[in-house]
Structure 1
Amino acid sequence: MLTPLDIQNKEFKKAFRGYSEDEVDEFLDQIMIDYEKLYKENAELKEKIEKTQDQMDKYKNIEETLKNTLIVAQSSAEEVRSNATKKSELIIEEAEQRAKEILQNSRLEVEKVKQEYEDVKKQMQIFKTRYKTLLQSQLDAVLGETENLE
């Protein structure tokens, strides 16, 4: 590829009836100036493309990192949800077991109270019977003495 310096240093052979040397030099100078502008612009654009490519690579790395982070976050969220579900099931199971124990203890307590009630009822019946018997015997004794007195 030609550089602006190559154009500036280019010399042509002189020929009889050739082009006007001043016009050729002037034209080459103009070409050199334009070519130099294009050459610099091309170099700047290549540099911009390289910088842009570097930025794009960085963004691709960031994108990949974000994707991986999102995957890890989703996995963690799923694990947390799963653990929460298991824990809630365990809590419910423990609560149900505790409720069964409370019901069983309550039934036993009710049975115990019923048994105590029946025992007290029987004792009351026995007491009534004995008291009635005692009163009857006392009444019989009082009536027996009154008959003897008559």
Structure 2
Amino acid sequence: MITPLEIQNKEFSKSFRGYDMESVDSFLDEIIEDYEKLYRENIELKDKINVLADQLRQYNTLEETLKTTLIVAQSTADEVTGTARQKAENIIEDAEIAAQKIKNSAKEDVRHIKNEYDHLKKEIFTFKTRYETFIQAQLMSLDRFYKEIEQSEEKKPLTNEEELTIDEIVIEEDLKEVDDLGA
């Protein structure tokens, strides 16, 4: 291929009427041939440049889209993470509140059971005292009854009807005493 320097330095031999037409034509043919090659290469290269420029624009657009997508994905991930943390904190807080309620309820139940236990102990003590009193009253009544029987036997024997009447009186008195004790 002819370089621009070769074209610039080219000298044509002189002939009778000027330059040798054949050598000028031959040189021009070489230049035209090389120029056509360059022109075709230039067009091909421009086409390649346009194709590559289009691809570059596509890649730049794709890169911008990817950057935007990554930014959106990162912000979404941050938002999801934040939301998950907030939900976790809320769940923990709710669990702690529920646990505290359960503990307070259990303490209240224990307090109620203890009060009920203390009340039952008092009731048992009261029942025991009343029952002991009742039994003592019965024993006293029986003692009195036997003393009366011993005294009346010494005085006179009772008939069957009189014995039944005395037994009924003693039983009625015992029942009244039981009613008075609240048993």
Which residues of structure 1 form unaligned runs of 5+?
A: 1-13
- Per-residue Cα deviation, 1:72-123 (whole angstroms, up to 9, x for no partner): 1111111111111111111111111111111111111111111111111111
In the other structure, the counterpart of 1:41 is: 41
Deviation of the 1:41 alpha carbon: 0.4
1:67 aligns with 2:67: yes
Aligned length: 137
Identity of aligned residues (%): 49
Residue 15 of structure 1, CA deviation:
6.0
Q: Shift of residue 17 of structure 1? A: 5.1
Q: CA RMSD in A?
A: 1.9
* Cα deviation, residue 16, structure 1: 1.9
Name the CA distance, whole Å, in 2 between partners of 1:135 and 1:95.
58
Q: Quick one: which amino acid aligns to residue 140 of structure 1?
A: M
Q: Following TM superposition, by how much is the alpha carbon of 1:144 offset from its aligned partner in structure 2, in angstroms?
A: 2.6
Write the mapping of 1:1-150 to structure 2, written as runs, cut at 5 A. 16=16, 18-148=18-148, 149=150
Residue 22 of structure 1 and its aligned partner are, at CA, apart by: 2.8
Counterpart Cα distance in 1 of 2:25 and 2:132: 155
Q: 2:44 and 2:32 mapped to 1: Cα distance?
A: 18
SS of equivalent to 1:131: helix
Distance 1:58 1:35 in 2: 34
Deviation at 1:128, TM superposition (A): 0.8
Rounded Cα–Cα distance in structure 1 between residues aligned with 2:82 and 2:20: 90
Q: Which runs of no fewer than 5 residues in structure 2 stay unpaired?
A: 1-13, 152-183
What TM-score do the two structures reach when normalised by structure 2?
Answer: 0.68
**Higher Rg of the two aligned structures:** 2
* Cα separation, 1, equivalents of 2:20 and 2:107: 127
User: Deviations 1:4-58 (Å, cap 9, x if unpaired)?
Assistant: xxxxxxxxxx962544423332332222112211111011112211221121122
